Amino acid sequence: MPEPLQDLAHIGHAELLTPKPNESLGFFEQVLGMEVEARDGQSVFLRGWGDYQRYSLKLTESERAGLGHMALRAWSPEALERRVQAIEAAGLGQGWIDGDVGHGPAYRFTDPDGHAFELYFETEKYRPPEHLRPSLKNQPQRYVGRGAAVKRLDHVNVLALDVRANRAFAEDVLGFRLYERIELDDGTEAGAWMSLTIAAHELIYVKDALGHKGRLHHLAFWVDTREEVLRAADLFLDNDIEIEAAPSKHAIAQGFFLYGFEPGGNRIEVTHGGYFVYDPDPEPTVWTEAERAKGQAWGVKTVESFHTYGT
């Protein structure tokens, strides 16, 4: 048995593309309650009150909605170097960039499906301005409580043509641990839930039902209670944010969810819950086609758009 690979720590941030930058910014700032930490060119960098780095969302104006890239932070400079070598060996590397707002040199690559990734280690820890200084010193930022008041980016769910290939790349080359997956009756792998930590999921691959490549399913932002997910639904409702799926509990990973669309067209989740995987050698849960047909944990059937819409 090979020892577990623990070179990458977590998803540091994701870049979201939007054709409606002002409206999207309004959503993330007023409805999700994030803070604008920096602006650079056509991008605005936003943070949840619990992010230890300067931001976890880079919102960039673009012709089309979708994922710009996601960036993974390594455990150490040596760990970063090891992963870069492994990615190059896999033939998917693109090379180093100087860095971006808030972090140092980053190595760019894609997964087999073509989603853009970056790896980095050097980062700026968040230092709040006076008006955002928290009362508790173990908290990066004041709790302002505006809108849904999301705490941080939680996970990224992307669509892929070949889930198996991308899942294997994430496991073998990046060191993600596979906790749950879906296998259809014909043997097709239809979804894979993976994590770098004990959290039930950080990176998810779901089969692209329309046969496209490189699409985003959704970004998920964390709140500390299920009650805040319910509250977020009231805020979505009274802010004219289209709710795609009302709060309920997933069967897979058991997260409590709310799905809606930000004005740029990207699907956004407000999430809480799920379980922790303390087991260092867990047997991944495999769901069959029949089991998935039962719907979510309490029997809620997923709406059609959830299986087809991506950006």
- From 185, 283, 290, 304, residue interacting with its own copies (rule: CB under 8 A): 283
- Per CB under 8 A, contacts with its own copies among 38-97 are 50, 52-53, 73-79
Candidate ranges 59-67, 102-110, 140-148, 160-168; the one touching its own copies (CB under 8 A): 140-148
Instruction: Note whether 3 binds its own copies by CB under 8 A.
Output: yes
Rank residues 63 and 281 by Cβ distance to its own copies and give the closer one: 281
Instruction: Note whether 156 binds its own copies by CB under 8 A.
Output: no
Q: Which of 224, 197, 15, 220 is closest to 102 using CA atoms?
A: 15
At 123, give phi and psi (nearest 5°): -150, 155
Instruction: Note whether 136 binds its own copies by CB under 8 A.
Output: yes
Instruction: Note whether 131 binds its own copies by CB under 8 A.
Output: no
Sheet holding 43-47, edge to edge: 35-40, 43-47, 57-61, 8-18, 66-74, 116-120, 106-110, 93-97
At closest approach, how far in Å is the CB of 107 from its own copies?
Answer: 17
Rank residues 134 and 308 by Cβ distance to its own copies and give the closer one: 134
Question: How many other C-beta atoms are found inside a 10 Å radius of the C-beta of residue 307?
Answer: 13
At closest approach, how far in Å is the CB of 298 from its own copies?
Answer: 4
Strand ranges for the chain from DSSP E: 8-18, 35-40, 43-47, 57-61, 66-74, 93-97, 106-110, 116-120, 152-160, 177-183, 189-195, 203-207, 216-222, 243-249, 255-261, 267-273, 285-287
Structural tokens at position 279:
């087991």
Candidate ranges 58-66, 93-101, 112-120, 273-281; the one touching its own copies (CB under 8 A): 273-281
- From 15, 35, 113, 180, residue interacting with its own copies (rule: CB under 8 A): 180
Please state, in angstroms and rounded to a whole number, the distance separating the CA atoms of residues 300 and 107: 41
Q: Would you say how long the chain is, in residues?
A: 311
Instruction: Note whether 246 binds its own copies by CB under 8 A.
Output: yes
Site map for its own copies, 197-236, x if CB under 8 A?
xxx------------------------xxxxx-xx-xxxx
- Per CB under 8 A, contacts with its own copies among 9-38 are 9-10
Candidate ranges 21-29, 87-95, 108-116, 295-303; the one touching its own copies (CB under 8 A): 295-303
Question: How many other C-beta atoms are found inside a 10 Å radius of the C-beta of residue 3?
Answer: 6
At closest approach, how far in Å is the CB of 237 from its own copies?
Answer: 5
Q: Which of 240, 279, 272, 239 is closest to 258 using CA atoms?
A: 272
Candidate ranges 18-26, 130-138, 203-211, 262-270; the one touching its own copies (CB under 8 A): 130-138
Candidate ranges 87-95, 211-219, 263-271, 292-300; the one touching its own copies (CB under 8 A): 292-300
Is residue 67 a contact partner of residue 115, using CB atoms and an 8 Å limit?
yes
- Burial pattern 77-87, b for ≥16 Cβ within 10 A else e, equals eebbebbbebb
Candidate ranges 34-42, 158-166, 206-214, 293-301; the one touching its own copies (CB under 8 A): 293-301
